[in-house]
A and B are shown apart, each in its own frame.
Chain A
Amino acid sequence: MRILIVEDDSKIASFVKKGLMEEGFAVDHADNGEDGLHFALSQTYDAAVVDIMLPKLDGLGLIKTLRQKGDNTPVLILSARHSVNDRVKGIQTGGDDYLVKPFAFSELLVRVQALIRRAGGRSESSTITVGDLTMDLLKRRVSRGDEVIDLQPKEFALLEYFMRNPGITLSKTLILEKIWDFNFDPQTNVVDVLVCRLRSKLDKDFSDKLIKTVRGVGYALEDL
């Protein structure tokens, strides 16, 4: 898996690069739009992470040119602008997903992996298994060991999200977006409440806790 990062801030770029390399990706980095475009056109990448504010050629210009030349590499836009309009503009230009700075690395990772999965068009199997947890997506049924766990729709959706990204910390923003399709942050932590409920149902009769809180980042399902 090869990923292109186009980001002019060297510290942020090296942080992302290092993180992605640890996850087993091969990473190329360009620090301006023109070089980024040159890289993207001369090589095949599985995904690209592109900042909007770039010297020489800005991120949106890069994506536009890329799409005009028929290149369909999935692009994750990085931006310092958080308004919904900027997000819409980014997606309309040809970006596939949008991430606002500052971001948790795990969130970037989840989004990049989702982009690659979507581009690959791999069909998802109807059952997912993580450790002793099994989820049957067709029958909407979850069991831990031999015990069937009764979940409400939102709890089911959250668990499915965790099970599709085992071991990865999912930020509150990601969960809000995935489960409720909300782009804003409510003050009361609705996510905490949902995770708490899910946790109580999953761990009720078991001694080992499956869902771990990662302070300042989010929650992760232990990949046993």
Chain B
Amino acid sequence: MPLKIFDRIAGRLGFRLAMWYSGLIIACMIVLFFIAYYFLSETLKDRDADEIQSELSELESEFDKGGLEGVKSFIDLHLSSRLKNLLFIRLADTQNHTIYLCSPFEQGEYDIGSLSTMNPAHRQWTRLKSINSSNDLILQTSLKEKDMILQLGMSNQPRKEILHHFRELFLIGVIPLVVIGMIFGVFLSTHTLKPLRHIIGTVGSIDIGKMDSRVPRTENGDELDELARLFNDMLDRIDRLIRGMKDSLDNVAHDLRTPLTRLRNISERALVDLLEKDPCREAHESVLEESDRILNMLDTLMDISEAETGVMALSKKDVSLKNLILPIFEMYQMVAETRQISISLHIPEDLSVYADPDKMGQIIANLLDNAVKFTGENGRVVIEAEKEETRVKISIRDNGPGIPQHDMDRIWDRLYRGDQSRSQKGLGLGLSLVKAIVSAHKGTIDVESRLGGGSVFTLWIPGRISPHPE
């Protein structure tokens, strides 16, 4: 669970933005640190070298003035105070035998003896590694014409200490800075992207049936506020369009139904008053039948329009597929019996779909109706259903005459009737309605058919296996 929350946070644009920025800042700081560190260490090195050189020159001039004794007294007199603790001074004869040694180091810290075995050159720098620490002794040699070797050096320990402090300071200072920067970055980006999240929330809640939510505005005139404004305007326009569409559908229905009602009433009244044998009876009866047909067509066309445009109100719930189909199956069983068609149903008890029961029943009835209508005597109609991942697959199979290839693409079209269909009673709207309602349920429908080999209508409806459906 905490992992999931982390995934969700990490997936957010704001978080990623803050992380990228923090990463960039850290990288910049590291580069900056390396540059500063390099310059500092170089400066310290130069300063040490300068100091060694200047002290060595001074020592040389003292040697010129007072010889070995002069040097010794100079060291005792002048260097005792400040540098004695730091400076290493060695005087040796031509054979490189140490004559005088002034060392601030502990016995055995450096292999001083090794200096005697070296072959020194004038102004040569020598680096002596410490035996028991990582420090180095850096010294310069001066060869005097009176065959005296002067060596003066200094440990790099103080320099390393300064650099060590510098590194420590960087780490102590930078880690909290980065953490604070990151937190602030996340906060800032989250705050900045808030309008975007509002838009996402609003879009998520929008449905054709529920168009009243709007994105909250910040009114500060930035790009995101502008986007929110434009978005709300767009929603308003869509809302107006849908409302207009709904109203016009309602009006058409109302304006057609009222005259149709009058028409029906007139014929009905006339039939009551006419004698049993009156030749006008048949005309009036036809008027009644045709008005029913027009009404049926009007209702179906309205349903198709509503389903296709998404304004159809679906009261979806978990329904047991068996309970849904069984009454329709029984209804058609009777029709099938009369036509000597065998009809069977194979649906698992625990299968349920998430659908509007009335609309779902209507499409099953339509498909079953077709199957029974077009399958001849001794035919067979089978209804099967099974679970397929998250969906429920329902298939209605018959061994009727099948659908000719040139009709296959057009069977879903409104008012299209194939050659076989023309001889039957019907409107040519059944399959259009089925397809529209299946689409409104976010399902799909497909047909497989071979001329002379029967047809299979297969639909996939979102559903779930539940042990206790409604």
Nearest B-chain residue to A189, judged by Cβ: B425
User: Which of A33-41, A61-69, A96-104, A202-210 sits within the interface?
Assistant: A96-104
Residues of B154-191 whose CB lies within 8 A of A: none
For the residues of A in contact with B, the DSSP-based class is loop
B384 at the interface (CB under 8 A from A): no
**Shortest CB distance B44–A (Å):** 86
Quick one: which of A180, A183, A196 contacts B331, CB cutoff 8 A? A180
Taken together as a complex, chains A and B put the C-alpha atoms of A40 and B265 apart, in Å, by 26
Nearest A-chain residue to B327, judged by Cβ: A180
B366 at the interface (CB under 8 A from A): yes
> In the complex, are the beta carbons of A197 and B430 less than 8 A apart?
no
Nearest A-chain residue to B363, judged by Cβ: A184
> In the complex, are the beta carbons of B254 and A217 less than 8 A apart?
no
Residues of A within 8 A of B338 (CB): 193, 196-197
> In the complex, are the beta carbons of B253 and A80 less than 8 A apart?
yes
Quick one: which of B257, B264, B265 contacts A80, CB cutoff 8 A? B257
Taken together as a complex, chains A and B put the C-alpha atoms of A9 and B259 apart, in Å, by 10
B227 at the interface (CB under 8 A from A): no
B296 at the interface (CB under 8 A from A): yes
**Shortest CB distance A181–B (Å):** 8
Residues of B within 8 A of A217 (CB): 268, 288
Q: How large is the interface on A (under 10, 10 to 19, 20 to 34, 35 or more residues)?
A: 35 or more
Taken together as a complex, chains A and B put the C-alpha atoms of A180 and B365 apart, in Å, by 12
**Shortest CB distance B161–A (Å):** 85
Residues of A within 8 A of B126 (CB): none
> In the complex, are the beta carbons of A184 and B268 less than 8 A apart?
no
- Contacts A80-B258, A187-B366, A216-B286; A104 near B331 (Cβ below 8 A): no
> In the complex, are the beta carbons of B265 and A11 less than 8 A apart?
yes
- Contacts A102-B260, A194-B334, A197-B338; A215 near B289 (Cβ below 8 A): yes
User: Which of A81-89, A129-137, A143-151 sits within the interface?
Assistant: A81-89
> In the complex, are the beta carbons of A187 and B425 less than 8 A apart?
yes
> In the complex, are the beta carbons of B295 and A102 less than 8 A apart?
yes
> In the complex, are the beta carbons of B365 and A193 less than 8 A apart?
no
Residues of A177-224 whose CB lies within 8 A of B: 180-190, 193-194, 196-197, 215-217
Taken together as a complex, chains A and B put the C-alpha atoms of A11 and B266 apart, in Å, by 9
- Contacts A184-B361, A193-B338, A217-B268; A12 near B258 (Cβ below 8 A): yes
> In the complex, are the beta carbons of A101 and B258 less than 8 A apart?
yes
Residues of B within 8 A of A91 (CB): none
B292 at the interface (CB under 8 A from A): yes
Q: A15-B266, A182-B361 are in contact. List 20 more A-B contacts (CB 8 A).
A: A9-B258, A9-B262, A11-B262, A11-B265, A15-B265, A19-B269, A80-B253, A82-B302, A101-B258, A103-B261, A104-B264, A104-B268, A105-B268, A154-B330, A186-B366, A187-B369, A187-B426, A188-B372, A215-B288, A216-B285
Residues of B within 8 A of A (CB): 250, 253-254, 257-258, 260-269, 284-289, 291-292, 295-296, 299, 302, 306, 313, 315, 327, 330-332, 334-335, 338, 358, 361-362, 365-366, 369, 372-373, 425-427, 430
Residues of A within 8 A of B (CB): 9, 11-12, 15, 18-19, 53, 80-85, 100-105, 154, 180-190, 193-194, 196-197, 215-217
Interface CB pairs A-B, < 8 A, 19: A9-B258, A12-B262, A12-B265, A83-B306, A85-B315, A102-B260, A102-B263, A104-B288, A180-B327, A180-B331, A184-B358, A186-B366, A186-B369, A188-B332, A190-B335, A193-B334, A194-B334, A197-B334, A197-B338
